[in-house]
Structure formats: structure tokens, C-alpha cells
Structure 1
């Protein structure tokens, strides 16, 4: 008879440590700390556990013993943290550009083919009986609740039940609903969007 895995686990008994105690623990494990004030600032503003992922590569093997390699320093760990942060910002910035371009292409293609209120026509969507109504409701709720200046102006000027998904209006409305709209769009038009980026 096997023993349930939950019975083999040990209880968590670690006590909370102050930033000063955390710093001393790192020193005891062999981490070189060039500037105590800077190290305490990092522990206070970034946190011990967030930084732990960056000093993990600086640990000797076996890593579960938590002993740092010779010359491993707080500055080394912080440099890794800064590199990772800057890399994330660069990657996310490029992803945003791609998202904006795809969204603009989708809105333009469908608006030119079916008119600016294409999204209100159930028959243009796959499984429209099941997925269209809640998606449309979400789009319209976002439009009615938006405080974007140009959308407020649009609501004051036009009486249409369905707003036109054109340029800034479309980007703002679709932004938070992009995955839902793209997921239920007919496959023929999805291929059209893809072709425009691969040409």
C-alpha cells in the first residue's frame, strides 16, 4: 500500500525575517555584499523572493544547500535582474507593435468588406448562436463605459446602436476584446489577415 504523498511532505516552519536578517542570511551563505545600504534598498523595494531567482545561478551545486559560488556578489544578482527587466520591456514593446498592427489590419479588412458595423452581424461568425451575443454585449458595454475623449464625442454625436469600428474607435473598442473577436471570426477572413503580413 502506497503512502499518500501529502503525508510525506514536511510542514512549513520558516519564520518571517526582517530585511536586515535576510541580508545577514545571504552573507552567511557566502554572498558578497559590497554596499549594505544598497542591498537593503533592493530587499525592501524588490523583495527577497523576487531577487532569489537572480542569485540562483550564482549558487554552488547542489543548489538546495544554498551556498554561493566564490566571488558571487549582490551586484552580480542585481545586474541579472536589470538585464531581465530591460529584455522584458523590449520584448513586450515589440509584441505590442505586432498586436496593434494585427488589430488594425483586422478592423480595416472587415470594415472594407462588410461595412463599419460588421461585428453586429451574427452570420459572419463561426458558432454565432453560442459565442456572438456575449461578445457583442462586451464590446458595446466597453464602448458605453469608455471615458476616452474621442469615444465620448462619438456617443454624443451619433445615435447608432452599433458604433463604427474605424481607426481609433475600433482600436479602442476591440483592444480589450481582441481575442474574443478574432476567435469567432470566420476562417476565410483570418487567412486574409495572415496573408497581408506574409506577403
Structure 2
């Protein structure tokens, strides 16, 4: 069934009346997002093969240990080093998230958290590019991005980089999305 703003439900196979405004149903939304799902699947498969390939890199171990120390500081007021003095990024943002994932499933879970952030980056890239240039351009952009070696590597590397890219992509999408809004929603999105 296709929904119409002026006619209600239109049975399948019938043509809507002239001037009727129709909205796409679930079927057309699913078909429209199918290429994105294929790209995301390829990205996940390419990154998953790297998850268990190595032991922890020095940066991964440093950030996860800092996250555990941050939790100890928050919960038990344990003194910790001055992480902002020598860490890149925001040491109170990613390390505690990575430490939670590490506590739940070890290094692999912390790497899966990064993979989730990178899948989010790809999805936001799709949404931003489709809004600006159309779905063909979005498919090309996400296809290229998902198959880059850096994207695969960051999806299997438990550091702040994937979260930083996700926040950057989110900011870009919110900026593009706010262009069509009224002043108050635009201000909230920005």
C-alpha cells in the first residue's frame, strides 16, 4: 500500500489521482538503503578479518589502561596521571568507553567498538552525500571510503581515532541536515 497525504491508503496496482501527494512506503525505503547495507557488510567483513590478527598495539594498551584508571578515579577517587597533558583527543571520552568494552569482552570487544564507530561514519557519510549530491554519489563515496585500508584498519584498532571520525561525520551531517530547518530546530541541530 502506498500512503497518500490527501487520499489515505491507495491499494497496490492503482494509480493515485492527479495531484495526490504520495510518500514512499517501507518497501521503497528498504530498496533505497540496500546498497548502503551491502557497503556496510563489505566494510564489516574487511575489518573483522583484522580483529584478532595481532596482540594489542602499544597505543591500544595505553588508551584502554587509561580508561580503566579513569573509571577507578571516578568510582574510588584513585589518583591518576595528567592524561590531557600528553594524550591526543579527549582522554575522558574514548578511554572510559574503550575500558567498558574491554571489561565486557577484552581487546576484541574494544576493537568492535571502534568498528561500530566506523560503520557509523560510513552511514553518516551516506546520509550527508545523498542529501547533497544524490544516492549515486553516496554509493560511490561510501564504497570508496569503506574499502580504504585506513578505514579497515581503524575499524579494528581500539584507539580514539574512530570516535573522532564519528564525531566529525556527525557534526557534518547535523550541519547539512540543519540547512532545511526553521531557525529554532536549526539552532538545536547546530
> TM-score with structure 1 length normalisation?
0.30
Largest Rg, 1 or 2: 1
Question: Which has the larger share of strand?
Answer: 2
User: Which structure exhibits the higher relative contact order, with contacts defined as CA atoms closer than 8 Å and separated by 6 or more residues?
Assistant: 2
> TM-score with structure 2 length normalisation?
0.31
